[in-house]
Amino acid sequence: MPKNPFFEEWSTPFAAPPFGRIKPEHFPPAYERALSAHKQEVARIRQDKDAPSFANSIVALEESGQLLRRVEGVFSNLASADTSDALQDIERDMAPVLAKHWNEIHLDAELFARVDNLFARKAELALASEELRVLERYHLDFVRAGAKLDPAKKERLAQITERLALLGTEFGQNVLADEQDYVLALNKEDLAGLPQDAIAAAAETAKARQTDKPYAVTTSRSSVEPFLQFSTRRDLREKLFRAWMARGGNGNAHDNTAAIAETVKLRAERAKLLGYKTFADYKLADSMAKTPAAARALLDRVWQPARKRALEERDALQALVAEEGANFKLAAWDWRYYAEKLRKARYDLDEAEIRPYFQLDKMVEAAFYTARRLFGLSFAERKDIPIYHPDVRAWDISRDGKHLGLFFGDYFARASKRGGAWMSSFREQENLGRAVTPLIVNVCNFPKANPALLSFDEAKTLFHEFGHALHGLLSNVRFPRLAGTSVATDFVELPSQIFEHWLEEPAVVERFAVHHQTGKSMPKALLEKLIAARNFNQGFATVEFLASAFVDMDFHALEDASTVDPEQFQRATLAKIGMPQEIAMRHASAHFLHIFTGDGYSAGYYSYLWSEVLDADGFKAFQEKGDAFDPATAKKLHDFVYSAGGTRDYAEAFRLFRGRDPDVEAMLEGRGLKAA
């Protein structure tokens, strides 16, 4: 076998992964060596004869596992963004192995004794604020992983953690398998109503999927939504919508029903072992919300005005159906189609008229421009950086001539990529003994076409994910445990969601929203109509999100989850809140990747709304200055949010930026629900 790239120093620019040399067969031996090395490093810390000190315990732990971080950074990203059968086999094999590895560390009594000793003496250690914070986080990590449990409970907790790791991996692979299996092949006559850019994207999809017809759409959101929005073929809208909603719940070999039931059951048991009433109580104890009651109170506050607005929207759409002489009851696969018609009637605004002004390349430039104006960043595209797929682009990020990190943009949908959009890292920033710059990636699933034109919502997605990317790129902390996005889930969406606001700023739109054929800026009248229609259909958007958040919270608020039927449970929650039948959950349980592929957003999907309270109120700080790029406000946003990682309490971080606690009214006003 050729030399394993993971066992060599990388001589690539900025030590980026040499993707062209990394093959699936390199990962198993790389994992084996990395895990062995990490175990030896941790053993040396545990067996140190000297009394526990911050340097020989916490710093030593932070410095350990560097090879493992390198292997994990590359593998986890490839497994999500450009997977294969070989990678999926390795992913399934490694999930319980990695969970076991971390269990052994966090449940090690001697190792925890060293951390616990330091935590008990923290007041006398004269630690700097970041050192104190990382000590507190390490102690909490151990305690929340079960370090204080008796041996029998530790053993059971370890079994649960390893099983959950495998279930989460299989859940994500099942959803991807259903997405890969389904393609709706179309002839030219099936494209009635679709704008030219959607037709071009359907032609590209047909080529990529090698269909027997010249056009095709898939169950990727960016493929489904334009079809639902414009297609006059109600039969095809229904067919595609049902396939989209059924991902992970088709009753086939990829069905996630049993995995959901077992996951919810095991999470509830895990929480009880750790002394919590429910998994939601356990999860939210380490969040801004602190309790399920606080998170649910926000959801409840928004639900009633959102539902009221959604029902008004439904009635208006049903009236439009009747006006056209049809006698069917509005269904979920009709909503986007008639909403687009109603928006055009009310605001003289046509989505097909907007898309030509939102070119992907120009929106990438717009995001970079915003970051330069706010934070003084420079972006230089590099063709000499190795990439893992031909669609990926790479940029060198710098400020005042100093390199800060690399940014990878991976924007187009493909069968080897899971659905959705996300930010991740191949390497995180740290400054522990040596300065390490981050390697950050944004992954989206826009339809591939030439030119690639985005909807306004897709452009917002691009800005959203780049806000996350900036959180990683601007990180300026000492310890990797506190770097970048290593913050509470209900705080991590603040940097992403606040960045969306600049997409609507005239200085950005006028410069970058230019027609792909004429090069002319979006007419002022069209921009005004776009802004005026910003809250159109907001009842629908809020309700589809909240429904998923309620289902997530209800699953994880169960004290007894031993006999959960996921489908019935979901129906019961939706009935309880009065979910309009014409609206589907944004993420139904069977393909709810946020909460069932891992613990990241479990009992935490509410976080997007919680963070929206922060971002809406936070952007008002700029509005109050009368300048969306006010330098003093931007510096506070940079220093206390984007660059600070997890170095301080999150509520304190927001107060340092805003000068006070957040006000929920700004969020309600932003969604147009204040008077609803």
Euclidean distance between CA atoms 332 and 159, whole angstroms: 41
Task: Output the CA–CA distances (angstroms, integers) from residue 393 to 71, 365, 370, 381, 442, in the order listed.
Answer: 21, 13, 19, 8, 10
Q: Closest Cα partner for 374 from 609, 671, 621, 662?
A: 621
Q: CB–CB of 442/90 below 8 Å? A: no
For residue 2 the two structure tokens come to 């050729």
Cα 8 to Cα 6: distance, rounded to the nearest angstrom: 6
Give the Cα separation of 468 and 466 in Å (integer): 5
Do 279 and 268 contact (CB within 8 A), yes or no?
yes
b/e burial code for range 434-450 (CB count within 10 A of at least 16 → b):
eebbbbbbbbbbbbbbe
Beta-bridge partner residues of 395: 381, 407
CB contact at 8 A, 586 and 547:
yes
Closest by alpha carbon to 460, among 228, 670, 203, 191?
A: 670
How would you write 519-553 as a 3-class SS string?
Answer: CCECCHHHHHHHHHCCCCCHHHHHHHHHHHHHHHH
Would you say 228 and 337 are in contact if contact means Cβ atoms under 8 Å apart?
yes
Catalytic residue among 458, 465, 500, 582: 465
Dihedral sign computed on CA atoms, order 154, 160, 165, 166? positive
* Full 3-state SS string of 424-470: EEEECCEECCCEECCEEEEEEEECCCCCCECCHHHHHHHHHHHHHHH
Token pair listed for 222:
């960016």
Q: How many Å apart are CA 193 and CA 659, to the nearest integer? A: 50
Report the chain's C-alpha Rg in angstroms. 25
Token pair for 427: 């390497």
Contact 207, 295 (CB under 8 A): no
Tokens read off for 571: 């129906």
* Residue given tokens 């976080």 in the structure block: 607
The β-bridge relationship of strands 435-436 and 393-399 is unpaired
Q: For 567-570, which contacts have Cβ atoms below 8 Å and span 24 or more sequence positions?
A: 567/249, 567/257
Neighbours of 297 (CB within 10 A): 11
Residue 398, helix vs strand vs coil: strand
The DSSP string of 188-227 is GGGGTT--HHHHHHHHHHHHHHT-SSSEEE-SSHHHHHHH
Between CA 392 and CA 443 the distance in angstroms is: 9
Q: Is 242 helix (H, G, I), strand (E, B) or coil?
A: helix
Residue 465 designated active-site: yes
* Distance (Å, whole) CA 572 – CA 551: 9
Q: Roughly what angle, to the nearest 10 degrees, separates helices 650-658 and 489-500?
A: 30
The catalytic site residues sit at: 465
